[in-house]
Structure 1
Amino acid sequence: MQPRACWAGLTAGLRVVLILYCWCCLGLSFSPTEPLTRLSAPQNLRIHLYNLEQVLRWDPVPISNLTGPVLYSVEYKFLKNNWSTMTCVNCTRIAESICNFTAAHDSSCFPHYFNISLRVKAQLGELDSDWALAPWFQHFRNATLGPPLDVVVTSLDGSLIINFKPPFKVEPDKFDYIVHYWQKEGEKKVKGPFPSQSIELNDLKIPSEYCLQVQAKLNPSHLNDPLFGQLSNTSCLEISFAASAKFQQVMITILGIFVLIFLVLGCYILAQKSQGLIKSYFHSPPGIPPQIKEFLMEPNDPILEALDNNSSAAEDCCVSLSIVSCQEDNQDDLSNNLSDNT
């Protein structure tokens, strides 16, 4: 009988405990919810720095059963300054969980060589959250530098000519450029840095196909270490003898035209200076007409008798012509001279 009494007492006790536990659970489930006094702070803050882009992002704050938009405010400070509200860009009481302060690099808000810290808090009506702090950064120390833009590669006379644009405009700092190139399926080589945006690669094997990538290097005046950028897309181009031969033909043609022009000008100038000599060379001296020369050689020609016979008939309408003959000695000398000339 005693064991049964003990067992019955233990069972009754367990029932009482179970009833009390259920009553407590029901009491807690029906108790009124405590009012929310603060919002949770924004989480997962991350800063995106690419070229000149500066963007702060974070995860939206959960609001459970509350209604209404959650607004966010961002503040900044330098290493030894107090927190300040952003005035260069609008990042105060904004609905998006993002603050793009890229435009601030053109003003005095965020100099690229300053150490900057950012913090964010959420607000919903009269409720707000604690400040969430982002890691400090310095733009040109922590930014990702993109590749050069608009890379164009051409082949000229066995060389590769590379033209491109800088990733962005920056003053007073300057860019240098490095070329990574290799023969197809060959070992990579590096040339540079070059300050120019037009680079020529020489001493290449012909014929062959070469591939290359261009990399920018920023030299900030306030930093000891340069900032190396990303590589551009791979550009491949084949170099052949045809391109080199065509270039040589063009150069020879141009050189021949210039030589011809100089020869023509030289001949013209020489002709102007030697005009008298040329005329004397190409023009024969004046001589005696053949008829008169023949008469002088043979003065007793019958033509004189014919002229004398016909003179009487033509006296009325013609003018007489008298021929004065020289002495025999003079005629003989003249005849001899004419004979010598001939």
Structure 2
Amino acid sequence: MTAGQWSTSFSGSRWYDANDLGVNCMNLTKPECNFTPSSLSKGFPPHFNISLRVRAKLEDLASPWLTVPWFLSCWNVTVGPPENIWVTPGEASLIIRFSSPFDIPPDRGYFQYYVHYWEKAGIQKVKGPFKSNSIVLDGLRPLREYCLQVKAHLFRTSCNTSRPGRLSNITCYETMMDATTKLQQVILIAVGVFLLLAVLAGGCFFLVLRYKGLVKYWFHSPPSIPSQIEEYLKDPSQPILEALDTDTSPTDDAWDSVSIVSFPEKEQEDVPQSTLTQNSAAVC
């Protein structure tokens, strides 16, 4: 088992139990301890040099104390990556929300954030700094997959120092299409449908011209039977000739008789003019 103590004295004349900091670092079963305080009012003073010492215990037996090298939290603190990262794909953009690596009083310092992002298999870019925990990556290409990492940068106002943090894990997301892309997609679909219809119409027209006779044969109406013959076929006892005579109009059988009177050339000269006039009238 292990136990821990800390001191702010270079001489180590006075040591304090780690439990006084609000952390549980006494009687541990693992050789590690997290000194993150439970509240902002507890923890190591940020502007003090801190020294730790540890020892192992087994029942009533205890090892000698081992002193850890001095450190100053303003200079030696390790800033982890932002936590609870949440990414929402937008129209040609990515909306990123996260929480800070740890809480820090405003009078002691603040965080600034940077986003490392790149299109998959592309060149990495960096955007920042941001003071907000909500970041919008805009100007991206629609319907593309982007990967990103977020990093926090700690600025200590109490001791006028800054410490870069660690990058978060790589996560990838696909952007959504924007209004321009939607319009282009609609136009492309409309043009594609129009071209398809034009090709179909042209193909049909070509086939009609090439197989004109066959098309006429397919679409030619079958010959129809006259109504009189159709009635006769339905009722053979009906005299077909009388039915045809009945339907025939008397005016269809009317004709004019024409008489042509001719004379030899000699006789024609001897015929009086009056006779020719009468004959001509009769012919007309």
Q: Give TM-score, length-normalised by structure 2.
A: 0.51
Shift of 1:182: 0.7
Once residues 131 and 33 of structure 2 are traced to their aligned partners in structure 1, the CA distance between those partners, rounded to angstroms, is 35
Question: Which residue does the alignment assign to 2:173?
Answer: 237
**Counterpart position of 1:76:** 7
Structure 2 residue aligned with 1:202, among 138, 141, 158? 138
Q: Distance in 2 between matches of 1:150 and 1:158?
A: 23
Distance 1:185 1:81, change over 3 A: same
Q: Deviations over 1:162-202 (max 9, x none)?
A: 11111222112211110101111111000101001111122
Instruction: Give the counterpart of 2:73 among 135, 139, 146.
Output: 139
Q: What is the rounded CA distance, in whole Å, between the counterparts of 1:195 and 1:212 in structure 2?
A: 18
Structure-2 change in CA distance of 1:124 and 1:229 (3 Å) = closer
Cα deviation code 1:46-97 (max 9, x no counterpart): xxxxxxxxxxxxxx7xxxxxxxxxx856342334773223261588984756
- 1:105–1:111 contact (8 Å) kept in structure 2: no
Q: How does 1:1-342 map to 2 (within 5 A)?
A: 72=3, 74-79=5-10, 82-86=13-17, 88=20, 94=27, 96=29, 101-103=35-37, 106-107=40-41, 110-121=44-55, 130-172=64-106, 173-241=109-177
**Alignment RMSD, CA only?**
3.5
Deviation at 1:100? 5.3
Q: Is the 8 A contact 1:161 1:198 kept in 2?
A: yes
What is the identity percentage for the equivalent residue pairs of Structure 1 and Structure 2?
A: 41
Extract unaligned runs of 5+ from structure 2: 184-284
Equivalent AA in structure 1 for residue 44 of structure 2: F
- Residue 46 of structure 2 contacts residue 72 of structure 2 at CA under 8 Å; is this kept in 1? yes
Change in Cα spacing, 1:241 to 1:128, as seen in structure 2 (3 Å) is: closer
Offset at residue 101 of structure 1 (A): 4.4
Runs of 4+ in 1 over 4 A off after TM superposition: 89-101, 104-109, 121-130, 242-247
Letter in 1 for 2:168: S
TM-score (norm 1): 0.43
Contact in 2 for aligned 1:158/1:243 (Cα 8 Å): no
**Rounded Cα–Cα distance in structure 1 between residues aligned with 2:25 and 2:153:** 36
* TM-superposed deviation, 1:213: 1.0
The alpha carbon displacement at 1:147 in A equals 1.3
Deviations 1:292-333 (A, max 9, x none): xxxxxxxxxxxxxxxxxxxxxxxxxxxxxxxxxxxxxxxxxx
Paired residue secondary structure (2:37): helix
